[in-house]
Structure 1
Amino acid sequence: MDYLIEQGIKVDAIITDPPYAVTSYSWDQIIPFDQMWDKLSKLIKDDGAIVLFGNEPFSSSLRMSNPKFYRYDWKWIKTQVTGFQNAKYQPLRCYEDIMIFSKCGAVASAKPPMRYFPQGIIPVNLKVTTKPINYLGDKKSDEKVSYTQEEANFPRNVIQFARETDLYHP
């Protein structure tokens, strides 16, 4: 990472599963957040995404270590649960947090927006008529509004994938 930074190289995305101190292994130590964010912010493009995996309480600490860059979460539903050793004391774990960070915003008004390429969208060209949301007693809220919905099937923030077998992960 230092070499890339020294060369002035910027990347579109950084995707990593950092250690979050949930085991007694020597390598499972939380990376100091200030040092991590210093390096990642030098390496990521302004409209790029930093994608970090985690579980609580690490996930909350990670989000709060950089609220300025935090954008949203995905919840990854795992097909194989974990935590059997603690099953009599707490629920089995069946999801992992995927936290998205970026220098740019992840909303329609962001200028420029963070890069985002939703998958599985289908064209619909559907005529929709609805009442607008009533903000602060707006008198026009009873009038119906029509528009054409051009696309549907946008991704939701809960994802699930079939588990690959015969793989080793530490």
Structure 2
Amino acid sequence: MTPTALILGAAVRPDGSASPMLRRRVLRGAALYHRGEVGRVVLCGGVGRHGPSEAAVMARILRAEGLPDAALVLEERSTDTISNIGNALALCPDLREVVIVTDSFHARRARVIARHLGLRARAACPAEGPRGVKLKAAQLREAAALLKVGIWMVSGHRLGR
């Protein structure tokens, strides 16, 4: 069975367009689909600071990149990585193997969560990403978030799987 891509959300700009980070992730997911490495794409992300939902913004870009609606699953409620993956599982209970599309600084935590929820998971990251101070800030946030995930895992949460 062909894996499913889970594109994890990122910020939407005040005008409703994708942030550069979100656009990079979406284009990486489109490339995976066009090369036949994934058979469908789950777009993960609710409404953050600005609407529309991250998933809706991603879908608009993917349609422009030639992906058919039949290949897209929109998960529009999540607000963090745990709910991104958990809600994707709820929408697609047949998920077994996923390719998580996110930035490299975020990939480890996303894989840990997916594996904890019973998925075979690997990451596919855009070649470009934040640099310098932005990258250091992202890495610090990730360290704290990984601690939160560890606590979540130890507490026995499995989101119904």
Shared fold (TM-score, shorter chain, > 0.5): no
Q: Which has the higher helix share?
A: 2
- TM-score computed with the length of structure 2 as normaliser: 0.31
Larger Rg over CA atoms: 1
- TM-score computed with the length of structure 1 as normaliser: 0.30
Q: Which has the higher strand share?
A: 1
If asked which structure has higher relative contact order (CA below 8 Å, sep 6+), I would say 2
